[in-house]
A and B are shown apart, each in its own frame.
Chain A
Amino acid sequence: QLQLQESGPGLVQPSETLSLTCTVSGGSVSTNNYYWGWIRQPPGKGLEWIGNIVYSGSTYYNPSLKSRVTISLDTSKNQCSLNLSSVTAADTAVYFCARRRAGDSGLEDWGQGTQVTVSS
């Protein structure tokens, strides 16, 4: 049974870097069979795709966030990480990690999400 668990600071200062980790259990990030991604949801609003990464190292980012986003894999810890720099209040959201099978369009597994607030 695959489980994804997001973790990281719940409060980030404006202009700082938001750093989150998604720990994977019951599966491995060291496979090109799946893409690992991040999605966020501002309070009371819809879902926004942030980006994906695959084991081979290829990354794909939302064009509107591309200049500020980095997604990486730590195979030794079986984790996927998200860094979002120069944050503002507009980056306040619940952040989800999710897994998509290569060749399919569905995000079949999701973490429970973690709330991040950007405020001084």
Chain B
Amino acid sequence: DVQMTQSPSYLAASPGESVSISCKASKSISNNLAWYQEKPGKANKLLIHSGSTLQSGTPSRFSGSGSGTDFTLTIRSLESEDFAVYYCQQYNEYPWTFGGGTKLELK
């Protein structure tokens, strides 16, 4: 199975700051990577697919980059609604696997 390793596990930041979350695959997954946002009491939200393509409705302050084994989710100018847990997922091969998550907390 492709192991997905996210770092950091926890990240504290303030509104207006920019943050980056790393996701590393144990083998090349081309650009077959998605990012999701998890918030309490809400359904998980697809933010980005194909490594860097914003899903319709995702604010432009979110961006994704990378290919192969190394990927990054960047959020510029954090807003209060961005404090959540973020997961990456590879869909290059079965079984599809997720990273362990990064909790973005308010500093």
A binds B: no
